Structure 1
Amino acid sequence: MNTEYIKIKNHINGKWLDETNGQYEPLKNPSTGAVIGEVPLSSVQTSQAAVLAAAEAFPAWSATPLPKRMNYIFDMQQAMKDNLEMLAQAIAIDQAKHIAEARGEVGRVIEILQMACSIPAMIQGETVQGIANNINGRIIKAPLGVFCGVAPFNFPALVFGWFIPFAIGSGNTFVYKPSTESPLFMQKMMQLLVDIGLPDGVVNIVHGDRETVEAWYEDDNVAGVCLVGSTPTAKAIAEGCGRGGKKTMLLGGAKNFLVAMEDAPMDLMIENILMSGYGSAGQRCLAVSNIAVVPEIYDEFVERLLAASKDITIGDAMNPDVFMGPVISAKAKERIENYIEIGQNEGATLALDGRNPSVAEGNKNGYFIGPTVFTDVTPCMQIAREEIFGPVLNVMKVGCINGALRMIKNHEMGNGAVIFTQNSYYTEKFINEADVGMVGVNVGICAPHPYLPFGGIKGSLVGNNKVQGKSAVDFFTQNKVATVRVVDPKENNAAPVASSNAAVRSCVAS
C-alpha cells in the first residue's frame, strides 16, 4: 500500500471535506512511531452538518424499496471481497494489527454482511386477525431516522460491520465517527460506498473527539447512538442520550476469564491462549486476561504457558513472519507498563516481563510490549479487576469449578468466559452458571458467529441492546402498530351507530 502522507477527511453529503473550523492531530504508525498523516478533530458545527445531511437523506432512503436497499448491501459485500487486501493493509498501517489478523477482521465483516443480507426476513412484521368484527391488528418494523456510531481503535472494520449495514439496510441513515487513532480503514471503506453508488447522505463520516459526540445528545434529528468502547464512555453517552431521549446500544469494557480444568486438552488450550491473549497485542474485548487453573495441572500449565510465551515473535504489523505487533500508542504502552508495576507492588509474581522487548532496528520507536505473565494472582488485585487492554495474563489457582464460577460472578464485568474441559458435566454447568454474556468451550475467543447477538452483561453492557443479527435489526427499527377496520363497500354505509361503537369499545378494551 502507498505510504505517502495521509490526510484524513470527513465525508458529508457525498463530499470529501477538510475540517475548516476544528484542528488536526498527527496520525502515527504504532509499529515505528512515525507520523504518517493527520486526522481532524472536527468542530461541533461539522458534527451537526453531518447529522443534518443524514436527516435530509432519510426520507428518500427510507422510502427506497427494500430489495433496492439490499442491492447496496450485496454490492458492499462484493466490494469488500474485491478489496480485502487493500482494506486489511489500511488496518495494519494505522492500527498496527498484524496483517494476518487484519485480513481476518475484514473477512469477518464480509460474513456479517452476508448475515445482513437476510434483513428482509428479520424485518418482517406480524398480523393478528379478528381482534373484533372486521378489525385486524398489524405490527410493522419501521426505521427511525438518523443513527450515530462511535468506533474504538482496535476493530475499525468490525464495528463498521456491526453498525452501518444493519442501520441502513433497515432504512435509517448514519453518521459514523471512527477512532482518531485508526481512521484509515473507514476512509477506504467510505470510498467503496461511493463507488457502489450509495446515495449521498446515507452514510456520513465525521472525525473528532468527545465534543463531536456530545453534539448529538440534544440534536432532534438523532434517533440513537451506538458505541463500542470503555464502560465509563458508555455510561457518559447513556447519560447524555437519556437527557435527549435517544436510543442507545453501548458495549463497554471487559475482563475475560479462562478456566482450565484437570482434563483440559493442554496443547489446544495453550495454542488458544496465545492467540486470545497475545493476538492484536491483547487489545480485544474478548482477549483472555484472568486464567483460573485447578491445582492438579497448575504447575504444568504455568511451565507450558511460560515456554510458549517466550517463543512469541514481536515486530512490525506488516511483517508476516512475526506473531504480535505493537499496542496502539505511546500512551497505551505507558498505561500497560504502569499496570505491570502495579501487579508487582500488589505481590503478584512477574513470571515473564514484557517490557522492553527486542525488536528490529526500524521498530525501536514503536510501541511494543511483549507477552507478560503474572502468577500468584488473587481476584482482589487491581490487575485482576481492571481492564489492562494489553498482552498481560494473570494466572490464578482455583480449587474447583465452583470457585472459578464464583470469581466470574463476583467480577463487575461480564463480557466473556471460556472453559477448557472434556467433561460434559463441567461444560453444561459452565454454560448455565457463568455470569457473562458470551461463553466458550474449548475456544480461546468466544466471539459468536454473525448469526447470533454479540455483547456482554453487567458492566460490559450499558443497557440491553447487543450487536449483530436480529438484535441489531430490532434496535434500528421501531414497532409501529396499526389497527385496521375492513369495510365492504357493498354494505349499507348507514349501519347502526351503536353496533359500530360497540366494536370499537371491544377493540380498545382488548
Structure 2
Amino acid sequence: MSNVNFTRIKNFINGEWVEEKGVEYVPLYNPSTGIEIGDVPLSSEETSLAAVDSAYAAYDGWRKFSVSKRMGYLFAMRQAMVDKEEELAVSIAVDQAKHISEARGEIRRVIEIFEAACSIPTLMQGEFLEGIAHNISGRVVKQSLGVFGGVAPFNFPALVFGWFVPYAIGVGNTFIYKPSTQSPLFMQKMGNIFNEIGLPPGVINIVHGNRSIPGTWYENPKMSGVCLVGSTPTAKKMAEACGRGGKRSMLLGGAKNFLVAMEDLNWDVFIENFKHSCYGSAGQRCLAGSIVAAVPEIYDELIARVLKASEEITIGDAMNPNIYMGPVISAKAKANIENYIEIGIDQGSKLLLDGRNPEVPEANRNGYFVGPTVFADVTPCRRIAKEEIFGPVVSIMKIRDLDDALQLIREQKFGNGACIFTQNQYYTEKFISEANVGMVGVNVGICAPHPYLPFGGIKDSHLGTDKVQGKDGIDFFTQNKVATIRVAPPEGVTEDGAKKAVDKSVRSCVAS
C-alpha cells in the first residue's frame, strides 16, 4: 500500500472539516508496510471545548425532532454505509491493518447494528400505570440527556462507532467521538457521509487527540456522559473522573479469555474456531482467545492439532486476500508482544511455536508482524496466563475437569468472555450458569452477541452500569422521567353525574 496518498487528518466540528493550526501532529502508519501515510492532530483543549459547544447547541433542536425523523437519518446513514462498504473496509485495512476480509465483516456488523438501532421507537417506549389512587395514574417516559463523548480504541474503529453513536443520537442525544490516533481513516469517511445525508451540524462531532480531549468532559456542565472501549487502567481512571464530575459512564476494559476444550469436543469445529479466535485480527480484540484449557484426555492431541493449525497460518499485508493474518498495530505493540514471549520463556512455559520475526513478503519487511505463538504447560500463576497480551500468543493449560476450568475463570480479574467446546448438554448448561464472565460461547470461538443483545463483560472488563448495544444501549443513553397525573371531571359535573350519563348512554344503546 505504498501508493496510498498522504492524508492529513482533520477534526469534524459543527458539520465542517477543521484543520487545527499550531498543534503537534503525530505520524499515521500503514502497519503492513511501516510506511507513513498521514498525520493526526493532537488537538487542543480549545478545539475539544468547541466540539462540546457545537454538540450542546445542536442538542435542543435534535431532541425535538420526531423519533421517526431521527430514524430516517439512521436509515440514511446505514444505506450510505452499504453503498460505500468496500471503501470503508479498505480504510480499516490500511491504517488499522485488520485483514481486508475481517474489515469487510466489521463494516457489515456495524450495518447490522444500525438496523437494530432503528428499532429504537419500540425499545424506548415508556410505561403507564392506571389506578395508583382515585383518579391518579403514573407514566414513565424515556428521554435523552444531552451531550455524550466517546473514546475509541485502535482495533475496532467502525464497531465502536456503531456501539455508541446510533443509540446515542437515535434517542435524541448529540455526540463527540474521539477515534484512536492510530486508526482515524474510517471516521474521516464517516464525516463525509454525515454531510451527504444532511445530518444537522453539531449532532456528531469528531475530535482527534490524546487524553486531554476527554479531560475537558468530566467537569463540563454541558456534558452528560462518557463512553470508552480501552484498557482497564484507562477505564478505571475515567470512572473516577466521571464519578467526580457526576457523569454517566459506560467503560469497557481489558480481557483474558478462555477456550475450554472438553473430551467430547468436535475437533473440526474447535480448530476452525480456535484459529479465528486466537489469530483473527492478529489477536487484537477483546474477545480473542488467549488461554486454551484442555482436560487430560485430549491434552496431548490438542497440542498437536493446535500446533499444526498455527503453523499453517499465512501472514502478510492486510490487503492481500490470500493471507490469513495481518500485522499488529505498531512497532510498540510488536515489541510489547515479543516481550511477553520472553516473559513466558523465562517463567518456564514451553514455547512450541515462536512468532517472532516471521517470514513475510519483501514489500512488508518493515511492517509490524508477529506470527502465531504457542506456549504449552502454562500454569495459572504465570504472567502470560494472567495479563492481557493483545496479540497472537496462545497459552495451553491442562485442567483436571470442568470445575477446575470454572475455578480458573472465577479467579481471573477479567470477566469478558469464555467459550466451551463440548457436545455434552450438562457441561453446556453448567458452563453457561457458572462461568464468571459477561459473555459465554458454546462451540464458538468469539462469543460476541448479535446486535440485538447487549455486549460487555464483568469484573475488570467493564465499569459502569450498562453494556453497549441492545436495550442496555437505550437505557444508558436515556433517563426515566416519571409523571403523576390526577384527573377530575369538568366544572359543574360530578363524578356520579358523569358516571350516570355514561350509564344511560350505554343502556339506551343496548335497548336499541
- Rounded to whole Å, the distance in 1 between the matches of 2:75 and 2:129 is 33
* Structure 2 counterpart of 1:49: 50
The equivalent of 1:434 in structure 2 is 435
The more displaced of 414-423 and 459-468 is 459-468
Q: What secondary structure, in the 3-state scheme, does the structure 1 residue paired with 2:420 have?
A: strand
Residue 54 (structure 2) pairs with residue 69 (structure 1): no
Which amino acid letter does the alignment assign opposite residue 480 of structure 2?
N
Structure 1: distance between partners of 2:282 and 2:341? 15
CA distances 1:111-170 after superposition (whole Å, capped 9, x unpaired): 111100100000101111122222211100000000000000000000000000000000
CA RMSD of superposed structures (Å): 1.3
For 2:101, the equivalent position in structure 1 comes to: 100
Equivalence for 2:28: 27
> For residue 121 of structure 1, what is the amino acid of its counterpart?
T
In structure 1, the partner of 2:501 is: none
Q: Which residue of 2 aligns with 1:363?
A: 364
Aligned equivalent of 1:330? 331
- Report the equivalent of 1:395: 396
For 1:503, the equivalent position in structure 2 comes to none
Give the C-alpha shift of residue 194 in structure 1: 1.2
Cα 1:491–1:472 change in 2 (3 A) is farther
Counterpart in the other structure of 1:459: 460
The answer on whether the counterparts of 1:316 and 1:363 sit within 8 Å (CA) in structure 2 is: yes
Task: Give the aligned partner of residue 502 of structure 1.
Answer: none
5 Å-filtered alignment, 1:211-290, equals 211-290=212-291
Instruction: Indicate the residue corresponding to 2:150 in structure 1.
Output: 149
Match in the other structure for 1:409 = 410
**What is the Cα deviation at residue 483 of structure 1?**
1.1
Distance 1:237 1:23 in 2: 24
Secondary structure, counterpart of 1:227 in structure 2: strand
1:199-241 CA distance string (max 9 Å, x none): 0000000000011111111111000000011100101111111
Any idea what SS the aligned residue of 1:350 has?
strand
Give the 5 Å matches for 1:487-502: 487-491=488-492
Stretch deviating more after TM superposition (461-470 or 144-153):
461-470
* Cα 1:56/1:21, change in 2 over 3 Å: farther
Residue type of the alignment partner of 1:348: S
> How far apart are residue 21 of structure 1 and its match?
4.5
Structure 1 match to 2:190? 189
Cα deviation, residue 492, structure 1: 6.3
Which residue number corresponds to residue 305 of structure 1?
306
TM-score after normalising by structure 1: 0.96
How far apart, in 2, do the equivalents of 1:23 and 1:318 lie? 30
The residue aligned with 2:342 is 341
Residue deviations 1:153-200, cap 9 Å, x none?
000000000000000000000000000000000110121111011000
1:378 matched residue in structure 2: 379
Letter in 2 for 1:188: K
Structure 1 residue identity aligned to 2:490: P
C-alpha contact 1:21 1:43 (8 A) present in aligned 2: no
Aligned length: 495
Question: Could you tell me which amino acid in structure 1 is paired with residue 39 of structure 2?
Answer: E
1:357-414 Cα distance to aligned partner (Å, 9 max, x none):
0001110000000000000100110000000000000000001001011000011100
Q: Which runs of 5+ in 1 are unaligned?
A: 494-510
Q: Residue 428 of structure 1 aligns to which amino acid in structure 2?
A: E
Could you tell me whether the CA contact under 8 Å between 1:281 and 1:391 is conserved in 2? yes
Match of 1:419 in 2: 420
For the 8 Å contact 1:252–1:460, the answer to whether it is kept is yes
Matched residues in 2 for 1:102 and 1:361: separation? 23
Q: CA deviation at 1:268?
A: 1.2
Q: Structure 1 segments of 4 or more deviating over 2 A?
A: 487-493
CA contact (8 A) 1:58 1:173 kept: yes
Normalising by the residue count of structure 2, what TM-score does the alignment of the two structures yield? Answer: 0.95
Aligned to 2:499: none
Could you tell me which residue of structure 2 aligns to residue 200 of structure 1?
A: 201
Counterpart CA distance in 1 for 2:389 and 2:184 is 23
Distance in 2 of aligned mates of 1:113 and 1:21: 37
Task: String of CA shifts for 1:330-382, please: whole Å, max 9, x gaps.
Answer: 00000000000000000000100000000011100000000000001001100
Q: Is the 8 A contact 1:21 1:42 kept in 2?
A: no
